[in-house]
Chains A and B, each alone.
Chain A
Amino acid sequence: MSDSKDNKPKPAQPVSQTLPHFSATFDPQTMSQIRRAADTGIYDIRGAGAKRKLPHFDDLLFLGASVSRYPLEGYREKCGTDVVLGTRFAKKPIYLKTPVTIAGMSFGALSGPAKEALGRGASAVGTSTTTGDGGMTPEERGHSSILVYQYLPSRYGMNPDDLRKADAIEVVIGQGAKPGGGGMLLGQKISARVAKMRCLPEGIDQRSACRHPDWTGPDDLEIKIAELREITDWEKPIYVKIGATRPYFDVALAVKSGADVVVLDGMQGGTAATQEVFIEHVGIPILAAIRPAVKALQDLGVYRNGKNSVQLIVSGGIRNGADVAKALALGADAVAIGTAALIALGDNDPRYEEEYQALGSTAGAYDDWHEGRDPAGITTQDPELAKRLDPVKAGRRLSNYLNVMTMEAQVIARACGKSHLHNLEPEDLVALTIEASAMAKVPLAGTTWIPGVTQF
């Protein structure tokens, strides 16, 4: 055969190729971070909270009423949602119609219209908003029927007149995204007005302190809180906000320092800007923090103990009514939302996809809040961008969302036979994972096992 005379090698049988295999350790995201660090020589700064997968409320389920218990009729029977904050020392406690509050976010980090929208949305449903680093704007006071005034390490824009105008004062010690860290606002967002409010040169990169300038430790904090009470004639509830790290000790010390309310922020809680490494590697998930915090309140005899109670607000990754119900079942008196509220206003909306792409991001992943170029006009000080947000419409979106969350929490509470959200309890919950079971101290579903508490 002629072929046999041909000495050319036969075409090789195709050899199977393995698929390109990305390392789980050096995944594309990690490699992009290494390249970015090598290019710039500076750590990555971004906004928002921890993005990694964490044990969370999704890992818990409610045990609805069945034969052993009797549910409430969904649309007729009352299921209370109101909450009173600051009963211990304040002459004028805060009454909220829903236990979902708006977390502290500054004018500076957010645009004027965004702050106004938060105020409008919260006021419409009878809950509170909170100022942030940089002081109180007249617009914010005007549009928020209940306004919590943050007292921060930087004291930017802090003045006694606004302190007296506030409905409550929140002494900020830390936040979940960066416990132990200070604030940061880059030059792009230090507009003339922000600079004036903070008494800073326009356009500089503002770094603010992580420590309060005039007190160190809980023994001094006790005196500081007394000062704030004296200045405001003992009228206003005083909150202490902490990032979740050692919640048992920190909550106990906040109580001993004289707090009326403790705000506990888990690592999913957002920030306007900080180092990525801080956001992802310091602090603990809110799921792991609530039970030790409640235990501290119980041990000190101030947990749901009439007038002598210290209320607990938790935050960090609250997204829907189920999260609210679960947080309350674990022992919180109320929750706070930040990131979710911004999304309700329009943050990361796919309708701006082209513009997010132009910023090197995509709708849903955009976190460069510190750069001030937010297409949604929320995390910006650019007047043109800020104009895009209609505070009335955005406020309406927020109030809709808050109402939905409240109704969702009621749906769950009624199904569990509760006439008030506060009657939810840890025993109404089970966990889907061993991690969540250990952290929330509720049994793994279908068992009586709580790791570290009961025998398997």
Chain B
Amino acid sequence: MENITNFDLDTTPLREVNQFLHGDSSKLNGQCVKIQNPNGAHNIAVGLKADVKVAIQGHAGYYAAGMNQLATVVVEGSAGTGVAENMMSGYVHVKGFASNAAGATAQGGLLVIDGDAGLRCGISLKGADIVVGGSVGSFSAFMAQAGNLVILGDAGDALGDSLYEVRIFVRGKVKSLGADCEEKPMDDEAKKILTDLLRKSGHQDVSPDSFKLFGSARTLYNFHVDHAGAY
């Protein structure tokens, strides 16, 4: 039996909701928490560290599910800046669009955005996986270090600028690539990762063959005077 707890942010202060969600993980594990009337409030369900399910029933503000560990957080509307920023593990699902810096610096777990994501999606990504159903804005995967960014739509300017070992899969058009970002042959390992992420994010009907893979040309890894303009 799933245990459901309801909170209404119109009547309960956010601090109380978050403190509840920071409670003893052995009691929270497996529980379901519904948060009504988020109305764009910031910092909802941040710093979770239990295997709890949270449904944010509307639009969330900045940093929804920030630094998530283990928890499953579903934003039923759109999410503001920095959704799932620095996520360590778990699953965050935005059913609407996400604003800038979605999944910034995230180290683990899976962030799924059904709509578009704004600029700088996956900036400084450090190992997490992000799947965007729509398009992403400019400077996405800027200085991204590790992990996978899957974009079913288009990418804006300067995709993957100064990236490290992240993989970027794009199905649509790329407006421009950033410094040191280049198209790579889709090897079996990459294809397997992509197939798996498409399945986990509800896009199992989308063919992995329709994507291009981008990664680091690794020309900026050690400073060289002939690349000075790219720094």
Using CB atoms and an 8 Å cutoff, list the residues of chain A in contact with chain B.
Answer: 40-42, 154-155, 158-161, 163-164, 186-187, 198-201, 203-205, 207-209, 213-215, 220, 223-224, 226-227, 230-234
Q: Which residues of B contact A224 (CB under 8 A)?
A: 62-63
Selected contact of B61 from candidates A161, A198, A215, A223, CB within 8 Å: A223
Q: Given A201-B164, A204-B221, A214 and B85 touching (CB < 8 A)?
A: yes
- Are the CB atoms of B225 and A42 closer together than 8 Å? yes
A223 close to B43 (CB less than 8 A): yes
The listed residue (B47, B120, B126, B222) touching A232 by CB distance below 8 A is: B47
CB distance from A119 to the nearest CB of B (A): 25
| Interface contact A187-B222, CB-CB below 8 Å | yes
Within 8 A of A (CB), among B119-143: 120, 123-124, 126-127, 142-143
Q: Pick the residue among A199, A209, A215 that contacts B81 (CB under 8 A).
A: A215
CB of A160 within 8 A of CB of B86, answer: yes
Does B228 lie at the interface of the complex (its beta carbon under 8 Å from any beta carbon of A)? yes
With beta carbons under 8 angstroms apart, the residue of A159, A205, A227 that contacts B223 is A205
Q: Contacts A155-B126, A214-B81, A214-B105: A207 and B164 contacting too (C-beta < 8 A)? A: no
B105 touches A227 (CB 8 A): no
A164 to B22, CA, bound (A): 11
18 contacts between A and B (CB under 8 A): A155-B86, A159-B107, A199-B107, A199-B126, A199-B127, A203-B222, A204-B164, A207-B162, A213-B124, A214-B81, A214-B101, A214-B105, A215-B82, A220-B62, A220-B81, A223-B43, A224-B62, A227-B62
* A372, chain B: closest CB distance, angstroms: 14
Residues from chain B with a CB closer than 8 A to the CB of A226 are 42-43
Kindly state the separation between the CA atoms of A163 and B69 in the bound complex, as whole angstroms: 13
Contacts A198-B145, A199-B146, A223-B63 known; list 20 others, CB within 8 Å: A40-B225, A42-B228, A155-B124, A159-B67, A160-B47, A160-B49, A161-B69, A187-B222, A199-B126, A201-B165, A201-B221, A204-B221, A204-B222, A208-B143, A213-B104, A213-B142, A215-B81, A227-B62, A233-B22, A234-B15
**Which B residues form the contact surface with A (CB < 8 A)?**
14-15, 18-19, 22, 42-43, 46-47, 49, 61-63, 66-67, 69, 81-82, 85-86, 88, 100-101, 104-105, 107, 120, 123-124, 126-127, 142-143, 145-146, 162, 164-165, 221-223, 225, 228, 231
> What residue in chain B is nearest A209 (Cβ atoms)?
B143
Chain B contacts for A223, CB-based, 8 A: 42-43, 61-63
Q: How far is the CA of A198 from the CA of B107 in the complex (A)?
A: 11
B125 to chain A, nearest CB (A): 9
Contact B222 A154 (CB under 8 A): no
Query: Which residue of chain A has the shortest Cβ distance to B42 in the bound complex?
Result: A223
Bound: A215/B213 CA distance, A: 29
CB distance from B121 to the nearest CB of A (A): 11
Distance of A159 Cα from B100 Cα, bound (Å):
21
Decide if A160 touches B69 in the complex (CB within 8 Å). yes
Question: Which residue of the partner chain A has the closest CB to B101?
Answer: A214
A29 to B: closest C-beta gap in Å: 23
Contact between A213 and B123, CB atoms less than 8 A apart: yes
Q: Could you tell me the distance between the alpha carbons of A139 and B26 in the complex, rounded to whole angstroms?
A: 29
Shortest CB distance A322–B (Å): 41
Interface centre among A158, A159, A199, A230, by most chain B C-beta atoms within 10 angstroms, is: A230
Residue of B nearest to A159 (CB): B88
Instruction: Give A223 to B105 CA distance when docked, in angstroms.
Output: 17
Q: Which residue of B lies closest to A41 (CB)?
A: B225
A223 to chain B, nearest CB (A): 5
B142 contacts which chain A residues (CB < 8 A)? 213
Q: Which of B105, B123, B165 has the largest count of A CB atoms less than 10 A from its CB?
A: B105
Please indicate the chain B residues that have their CB under 8 angstroms from the CB of A214 in the complex: 63, 81-82, 85, 100-101, 104-105, 123
CB distance from B227 to the nearest CB of A (A): 10
Q: Which residues of chain B are near A160, meaning CB under 8 Å? A: 47, 49, 67, 69, 86, 88
CB of A227 within 8 A of CB of B19, answer no
Known: A159-B107, A214-B85. A200 touches B145 (CB 8 A): yes
Query: Do B124 and A230 touch (CB < 8 A)?
Result: no
